[in-house]
Chain A
Amino acid sequence: MQPDDDSAPAKMPPGLVSLLDAGRRDAPSADELARLRLRLAPAMGSTIGPRSMVSLAGAGAIAAGAVLSVAGVLVVLAMQSGPLREESRRSAPVVEITTRPVEPRVVGPLPEDLSPPPVASARDDRDESADVEPRRGELPAEDVLIDRAQRALASSPRRARALLRRHEVLYPDGALAQEREALMVSLLIRTGERAHAARRVQRFAERWPGSAHLARLRTLVRSDPGAPPE
């Protein structure tokens, strides 16, 4: 029996640890993700991060004079399908500035193809993932995401991470899932997240014990898979 002491960690039963690990692999399905993207589409062209303060002023000025595109109208209508539509409209007043017309669709139940149309934003010149954007109605191919992530690994770890996470969301059990995880471990080593990398390798070994990647990954982390958290 463990003492009732909040100053010391409690021993977690292995079954509970497994459940928590399973929770980590939880992810929305491609359909759920596509619906969510669609509902947030008006905000997707905005910028976020340290430079968004500057862009906000510009975006406000542009938005003031902007005319809603057909795509924008469709998106706003699509947002009305959810119970939070009123809050959504109030919270995401950003107008997507499109550079080309979008074919109108009948508004009603969500279309079977829920992948949002690739809307070109006014800042597409800074969109690092534009080269993996699918054509309308298509998801980016697995191999394209992995290939781009691999190429970005050395030069842009942030971009590589985004691409790998995108693959994880779209293709959690895809044919290239092992490659994704191996790349993620390499990325984590590069960014100094060694303990996280070790945990990834441990999970990799549990999931694919016979993988050809495993020996290399274990060498890469050069640490006990049970390394303490960072």
Chain B
Amino acid sequence: LIFRDFFDEHAAFVWRVVRHLGAREADVADLAQEVFLVAHDKRAQLRSLDGARSWLYRIAFGVVRNHQRLAHVRREVPTDAPGEDLAVAGHRDEVANRQVLRAVLDQLEPDKRAVLVAQAIEEMSMNEIAEALSIPVKTAYSRLYAAQRAAAAAFARLAAEPVRDGEDDAA
């Protein structure tokens, strides 16, 4: 397969995964690029195109995790922090949904977040997820259930937050 077609087939997937695994909006493009660069470097390791999504997911998870470990990333206050986003939680538009989803996912531990994103957003099978994250399937299920529980609790907390001044007007 020509890499260009590989990119076309998986670009949106990588973009979404990088974003939902926790990359800041300003970093999504750079990290998606990095995922494809790593994939390009390691392309000889891809034995079957059927496993491409698991393989890319594994790379994306590593790229995002490594990026978040960088000292300057940890120190910076994200510009798209949940606090400022919740003012638009009542909107039904795409951006608002994305921001609220990010606020929920940000409450999860990275390992659990990775399983929930793969299962609930990317619709990967549990076998694919286990392969992507190099964990037993049973562990993947355990993390999924824990992530579901934590996400539900985070969503409930966000929903219970009082409406701030001006929010009604914003709608």
Contact A36 B32 (CB under 8 A): yes
Interface size on A, residues (CB 8 A): 67
| Chain B: interface size category | 35 or more
Interface string of B27-43 (1 = CB under 8 A from A): 00110111011111101
Q: Given the known A-B contacts A6-B146, A7-B142, A37-B7, are A27 and B15 also in contact in the complex, defined by CB atoms under 8 Å?
A: yes
Q: Are B159 and A15 in contact (CB under 8 A)?
A: yes
CB-based contact A24/B123 at 8 Å: yes
Within 8 A of A (CB), among B133-171: 141-146, 148-149, 151-152, 155-156, 159
Across the A-B interface, how many residue pairs have beta carbons closer than 8 Å?
Answer: 196
Per-residue B-contact encoding for A27-38, CB less than 8 Å = 1, 0 else: 110001101110
Question: Pick the contact of A158 from B37, B49, B121, B142 — CB < 8 Å?
Answer: B49
Given A2-B149, A15-B159, A20 and B142 touching (CB < 8 A)?
no
Q: Across the interface, do B7 and A40 meet the contact criterion of CB distance under 8 Å? A: yes
Contact B101 A36 (CB under 8 A): no
A92 touches B37 (CB 8 A): yes
Across-interface contacts of A91 in B (CB, < 8 A): 34, 37-38, 40-41
Residues of A within 8 A of B (CB): 2, 4-13, 15-20, 22-28, 32-33, 35-37, 39-40, 43-50, 52-53, 56, 82-84, 87-88, 91-92, 94, 121, 123, 126-129, 158, 161-162, 165-166, 168-169, 196, 199, 229-230
6 intermolecular pairs with C-beta atoms under 8 Å apart: A23-B97, A24-B16, A25-B94, A50-B48, A56-B43, A121-B2
